[in-house]
Structure 1
């Protein structure tokens, strides 16, 4: 596995190409994004909110909570980002993944989940902008 340490960058807008080993954080979009830490090259988008991921910045490093489980990717990597360091988690069984997904979909959220979740960073940002323009 690769990327034991990440560099965090606070940005307003996401670049067209994400760099490996970099965690991009956009406060205006309340979203963090990075390339999967396993090295597969897929974009991983983590929306920041009380019901999604929470970001902690201690002045020098960042942490995301909860863990990042890339269940929809072929790699199915699972890790935490704590103080800019990737901590690998045990692989989950298909049954545990299904249970986690069921729990997440039955937990009430302040805004409805999209029927077709975005698959790319650009799609996610477009969704966030659309949601904000309706408020």
Structure 2
């Protein structure tokens, strides 16, 4: 398990995600890094009020809340705080199931109360936005 991590602010995440770097795309409200345990899996953390948030202290970033890679074989769990990795305890399968259900309720509530954009809002049909999301999903599908 690594103990430190750096960051790069990018427009889009590169095709090759290097170990030890969190790539932060403010444009697409996403941070991506390789799992800090060393297993090599890409970890995608959507920056969203009900998911992860990022802070930058002028030198390093922090992600909140913790990152629980429960879908990976490693099941690693850690915090990124000011560029340092802090290992957290491993959750049981029951705890993971409960947390995922709670997270889904929060997201459902958030989107149920979200005001709809007017149909003529140019951000709804922005080719840049659609192209970025499409490229991101294509990257996730690659082996």
**Normalising by structure 1, what TM-score?**
0.80
1:50 maps to 49
Structure 1 contact 61–83 (Cα < 8 Å) conserved:
yes
2:5 maps to 1:6: yes
Structure 1 contact 29–125 (Cα < 8 Å) conserved:
no
1:123 maps to 137
Q: 1:125 to 1:40 in 2, by over 3 A?
A: closer
The unaligned stretches of length 5 or more in structure 1 are: 112-120, 127-135
Q: 1:84 to 1:13 in 2, by over 3 A?
A: same
User: How many equivalent pairs are there?
Assistant: 116
Output the CA distance in 1 between the equivalents of 2:69 and 2:92: 13
Output the CA distance in 1 between the equivalents of 2:48 and 2:69: 18
The unaligned stretches of length 5 or more in structure 2 are: 113-134
Q: Which runs of 4 or more aligned residues in structure 1 lie more than 4 Å from their structure 2 counterparts after TM superposition?
A: none
Output the CA distance in 2 between the equivalents of 1:48 and 1:124: 19
Q: 1:124, CA displacement in angstroms?
A: 7.8
Q: 1:45 to 1:90 in 2, by over 3 A?
A: same
Structure 2 contact 23–31 (Cα < 8 Å) conserved:
yes
Q: 1:110, CA displacement in angstroms?
A: 2.4
Q: 1:54 to 1:101 in 2, by over 3 A?
A: same
Larger Rg: 2
Q: 1:109, CA displacement in angstroms?
A: 2.7
Structure 2 contact 52–64 (Cα < 8 Å) conserved:
yes
**Normalising by structure 2, what TM-score?**
0.76
For the aligned residue pairs, the C-alpha RMSD in angstroms reads 1.9
1:71 maps to 70
SS in 1 for 2:85: strand
What does 1:11-50 correspond to in 2, within 5 Å? 11-50=10-49
